[in-house]
Amino acid sequence: MGENADDRQVQESLVQLRCHFTWGLVVEDSEIPDLESRVLEEIEFLDTKFNVGIHNLLAYVKHLQGQDEEALQSLRDAEDLTQRQHADKSDMRSLVTWGNYAWLYYHMGKLEKVQIYLDKVENICQKFASPFRYRVECPQMDCEEGWALLKCGGQYQKQAKVCFEKALQAEPENPEFSTGFAIATYRQDFDKSFISLEPLRHAVRLNPGDAYIKVLLALKLQDAGKQVEAEEYILKALHNTSSQVYVFRYASKFYRRNGCVDKALELLERALQATPSSAYLHYQVGLCYRAQVLQIKNSTNMQPRGQDREKVDKLVQLAIAEFQKTLVLRPTFEMAYVTLAEMYAEIGQFRMAEDNFQKVLVMENIADHLQQEIHLRYGRFLQFHQKSEDKAITHYLKGLKVKEISFARRHVLKALEQLAKKRLNRNVRVVESLSLLGLIHKLRGEVNEALLCYEKALRLTGELNPMF
């Protein structure tokens, strides 16, 4: 009875701690190997002064795999870094690590050691006059929670941004908080509204030696059409020897989008030499082959023949192989299923295309903007490859039901508008097509145009059903 009461009391204390065990980080079993791979890559290849948190996250990942002794070693590494990098604030900077120690020892059944770390946290709470026994509200804690959320998947990106915002309210010029906020905002900037442009500029100003942030700023400048300035930052990042693997990853994306696919592939190959198990890199290589397919198709008026057709087929097979590698390494990589499906459709393997679309359509916890993108591209597959306009409309409408304002949503609206107008011109389901156009105008805020479409549809309904 006494032991149960002690255990319950310890549990009540543990849940008050701010650490990886209390931040609600849900990682599916199938996602753990890829998460561990990305964490280890960051430890080895990302040159940053802000890497205490990544060792804490590695400890949590090791625990999820049942490797508690290895997890303890990661926490020791985090402690050593804290002493080296934050000696003046080591107590406050150690709180997350101590919280993780307490939870880890609890899972190992070592309650005496749990109490040692609870006492350490309690002493700091008293020192800083916290109203809580085992919890301190401070920007460093918000920042570390933000880094953990940022690393654990798209479903946590909004929460991560909020954490960094909260930290910046306390210290607006803090280089680490600024970097975290810029990266979180960049990952949320999926409607191309350029909300991340200024945060990235600010982070570069505060972290002039950080090549990784420079290359992210370059990509956002490229989105904004500021090509000359973007290229300046890319070249600065490439000439810097720090974080080269990460710079190569994102610089390759810059060159691919500029049409310099060979340069992009060269950079990706260099990055793969260092991190051959990176799902992201294999995905980017696949996108490069896909880009080369599109280049050939565009140069042949979308009808490649002879040698061009052979080149397309070869490139498609190369792309398929890369997307398959991606999904072995990260089975939950949503857009890899979509691009793999599109490559199968390109060579007429429609059953394989359908199978891959179905795999992603039944996945859960997909970010809103990605749901829109998936329904858009599946709709296009149904419309142009399966010749099923009705099913395509169904998926375009599903994309629009997701309210997130994004670049993909604008494309869904455009695809639906083009299909509705095409059907009107062919006198196919005229009332339905007019209603769809009315909906499109309504969603764009074009009220008068929407009303005109709805009125036409109602008049036609009356003519078709005179008894009404």
Domain spanning 2-137: CATH 2.40.128.520 = no
pTM of the predicted model as reported, rounded to 2 decimal places: 0.93
Find, among 20, 21, 13, the residue nearest to 119 by Cα: 13
Mean pLDDT estimate for the chain:
94
| Cβ–Cβ < 8 Å for 121, 98 | yes
Q: pLDDT digit string (tens) for 147-200?
A: 999 999 888 999 999 999 999 999 999 999 999 999 999 999 987 778 999 999
Query: Which residues touch 332 (CB under 8 Å, ≥6 apart)?
Result: 28, 30, 31, 34, 363
Asked if the model's pLDDT at residue 303 lies above 80, the reply is yes
Q: Reply yes or no on whether the pLDDT at 465 is more than 70.
A: no
Q: Which region holds residue 206: left if phi is over 0, alpha if psi is between -120 and 50, else beta?
A: alpha
> Please, is 410 exposed, middle or buried when counting C-beta atoms within 10 Å of its C-beta (0-12, 13-18, 19+)?
middle
pLDDT value for 236: 96
Q: What is the dihedral of CA 284, 290, 291, 297, to 10 degrees?
A: 180
Contacts of 144 (CB under 8 A, 6+ apart): 52, 53, 56, 96
Q: In the prediction, which pLDDT does 2 show? A: 47
Which of 89-98, 259-268, 400-409 shows the lowest per-residue confidence on average (mean pLDDT)?
A: 89-98
Please give the average per-residue pLDDT across 250-257, as a whole number: 98
Tens digits of residue pLDDT in 44-54: 999 987 788 99
Instruction: For the chain, give every domain's residue range.
Output: 2-137
